[in-house]
Structure 1
Amino acid sequence: MKRVVVLGAQVPFVRGGAELLNEELVRQINLWGKERQVVAELVQIPYKWYPETEILSSMLAWRLLDLNESNGQKVDLCICTKYPTYAANHANKVLWLVHQHRVLYDLQGTTFDQPTLSTRERAVRDALRASDRELLAEMEPRFTISQTVTDRLERFSGLSSEVLYPPSKLAPFIRSGQYGDYILCIGRLESMKRPDLLIRAAQRVPHAKVVIVGTGAGDYARSLAPLVRELGLEDRVKLAGFVEDEELLDLIADCRAVFYSPVDEDYGFATLESFAAHKPVITVDDSGEVGRIVESTGSGWVSTPTPDAIAGSLRDCYRMDAAELRALAEAGYRLSTTITWERVISQLVENRL
């Protein structure tokens, strides 16, 4: 029996794309391994990023962890994902990088960073970046979940990597239904995802309807309902909150298009989920992998991240009939069919055992 561990850095009570990806990876390896005597399990350690010295503590916690065996049995392969899981000690590690700790790199000095850094905090960041590069350099080949993550790794750490797109866990169940009268937005309600841009854009397009699926716990999430009321959009914008997968599949199937405008997104499952349903995507030019994919396939609209520009995309979307919308999304649909767990497991597991 071969044993595989997938490593995850878990912020307690927070579940996002990375957590769902790790769980699905374990499930898929176990399905694949049934007839091959391979089993997988998810190993997680709580992660805290503040104060910044806690990041160093998290990295050291993983570094002190020896995963070469457990309960007297050999662990044959260790799959590392988010920072700082790849610090773990193992003789056979493979990297499938979701992202590094972004505030050390592309988010440093932006509105998503601290306004000021102390001398000690700057020193801690320098130490974290140096150790990060050393840990990542230990593993070859290196895989990432997107070209955006690969580009960041090359730019900030000088390390090459290969893109290995992950499929959505919903992919086998997604269907194409009607092209309804609403634009669907899927994702956590946080400032980096920017669903407020869609709400403000909808105000400028009198016939536009919006359904926003997702939850959030901070001030930003709590600001959306008052914003809808302030703009007088209670009859056209629905904040649906959390929905079960069955309802989400129905919403994807029957929407007109999917809106997704995160800041420099690592990947973005909503993009490929939309394409799998033959639905185009409305996004913006600083959305990272989302904009890259939409632009390369031509299966949607990419504008500047302003309500006025997004309103222009909405008007274009509502002018098109169902046949035109389906044709627009065709190249994206074809891309979605090429992203499979067979390829992921071949690269991460089969070639390493």
Structure 2
Amino acid sequence: MDVLVCATQVPHMRGGLEQLVEGLVVALEAAGHRAEAVRIPAAWDRERLLDAPLAWRSVPLDADVVIPVNFPAYYARHPRKVVWLAHQHRAAYDGIGQAWSDIGLDDDSLEVQRQLTAWDTRALDEAVARFTISGVVSDRMARFCGLDSEPLHHPPPLADRLAPSPLGDRIVSIGRLEANKRPALLLDALGAASTDVAGVLAGRGSQADALATRAAAAGLDGRLEMPGYVSDDAVVDLLGDALAVLYAPYDEDYGYVTLQAFLAGRPVITTADAGGVLEWVTDGETGIVTDGSPEELGAAVDRLAGDRELAARMGAAGRERADALGWPEVVERLLGAAG
């Protein structure tokens, strides 16, 4: 088949969504199909939020099947549109009124939200089949748009390069240094732990300077490393040198870091409100789920540092779960639903 993977991207930004698109295109080609990614730039600010949906409605898409993966790419018109949704525009749904959203509870914002919900529902309802990357994303679609969908999980980037190795001594956290990713929880965990465990907080973002200042004030200079952006090679090395991974974003869509940690044989420390992360982390089996307080985070660090056999067992259990994921199954399910 000729397949177009449709995605929307803010220029000069790259993250998990772009990696998902690249992974799907490669998997489609490996299955013998001719595949290509089609991207249209978008702006997420409220005043321009509805511009890109209109652009997608007018784009000619000559292919046997189109697979949109995010807002507003699913506005694309095609008789065999199979949606595999990473996310809608969260700032207008579960994020409305939050500090990180520019859509509040004022009349203008509510009108934008009302219009977006109506448009989203119509565009998503056009699809011949709807899949999502996680149960969390499916739940949101059902709650806000009244539409059903099927979670369809996929392997994370670097899956073929991650393998178990002897446990290291550091707690590793990898991700964007932004409020919704809650990177400060690693500082809380190290500060509250009674054991002198070191940590690595890798990534870049708007909170980098504030986090460095806070770490210095907390006396963590000698225990916390902040290398900034890390390459794929460095991610593999960091996970291979970790005792455990702390990954606790707020209501995450999926969470590649969780699965990458599992494939490296590392347990994950997280929180009860981490969203998609909890589809993989089972407390006491593949990691430790906390309430997000410094006390519980510190206790989790102490528990794993004091019982390395437990940490190794949890990591192995996580590896078994993540190792079952494969791209061929994703491709077969998506194209099989096209009819």
Is 1:212 aligned to 2:188, yes or no?
Answer: no
After superposition, the C-alpha distances for 1:201-244 in whole angstroms (9 at most, x for unaligned) are 2112251211112122x2x2321111121112111100121222
Q: Percent identity?
A: 37
Would you say the 8 A contact 1:198–1:307 is kept in 2? no
Q: How much does 1:352 deviate?
A: 3.1
Would you say the 8 A contact 1:276–1:336 is kept in 2? yes
Paired residue type of 2:55 = A
Q: How much does 1:293 deviate?
A: 1.9
Instruction: Report the Cα distance in structure 1 between the residues aligned to 2:5 and 2:217, rounded to whole angstroms.
Output: 46
Instruction: Report the Cα distance in structure 1 between the residues aligned to 2:264 and 2:211, rounded to whole angstroms.
Output: 28
**1:160 aligned partner:** 148
1:28-67 → structure 2 map (5 Å cutoff)? 28-33=27-32, 38-50=33-45, 52-67=46-61
Identify which of 95, 98, 101 aligns with 2:86. 98
Paired residue type of 1:209 = A
1:193-342 → structure 2 map (5 Å cutoff)? 193-205=181-193, 206-216=195-205, 218=206, 220-295=207-282, 298-321=285-308, 323-342=309-328
Instruction: Report the Cα distance in structure 1 between the residues aligned to 2:161 and 2:148, rounded to whole angstroms.
Output: 34
Would you say the 8 A contact 2:128–2:337 is kept in 1? no
Q: How much does 1:115 deviate?
A: 7.8
TM-score of the pair, normalised by structure 2: 0.95
In structure 2, the gaps of 5 or more residues are none
**1:22 aligned partner:** 21
Superposition RMSD in Å: 1.7
Paired residue type of 1:235 = G
Instruction: Report the Cα distance in structure 2 between the residues aligned to 1:252 and 1:164, rounded to whole angstroms.
Output: 25
Instruction: Report the Cα distance in structure 1 between the residues aligned to 2:83 and 2:127, rounded to whole angstroms.
Output: 7
For 1:256, what is the secondary structure of its paired residue? strand
TM-score of the pair, normalised by structure 1: 0.91
Is 1:188 aligned to 2:176, yes or no?
Answer: yes
1:134-153 → structure 2 map (5 Å cutoff)? 134-153=122-141
For 2:179, what is the secondary structure of its paired residue? coil
Paired residue type of 1:167 = P
After superposition, the C-alpha distances for 1:100-124 in whole angstroms (9 at most, x for unaligned) are 1112211112333348444233212
Instruction: Report the Cα distance in structure 2 between the residues aligned to 1:115 and 1:85, rounded to whole angstroms.
Output: 20
Instruction: Report the Cα distance in structure 2 between the residues aligned to 1:116 and 1:127, rounded to whole angstroms.
Output: 14
Paired residue type of 1:241 = G
In structure 1, the gaps of 5 or more residues are 70-74
| 1:318–1:297 distance in 2 versus 1, CA, 3 Å | closer
Paired residue type of 1:56 = L
Instruction: Report the Cα distance in structure 2 between the residues aligned to 1:333 and 1:64, rounded to whole angstroms.
Output: 44
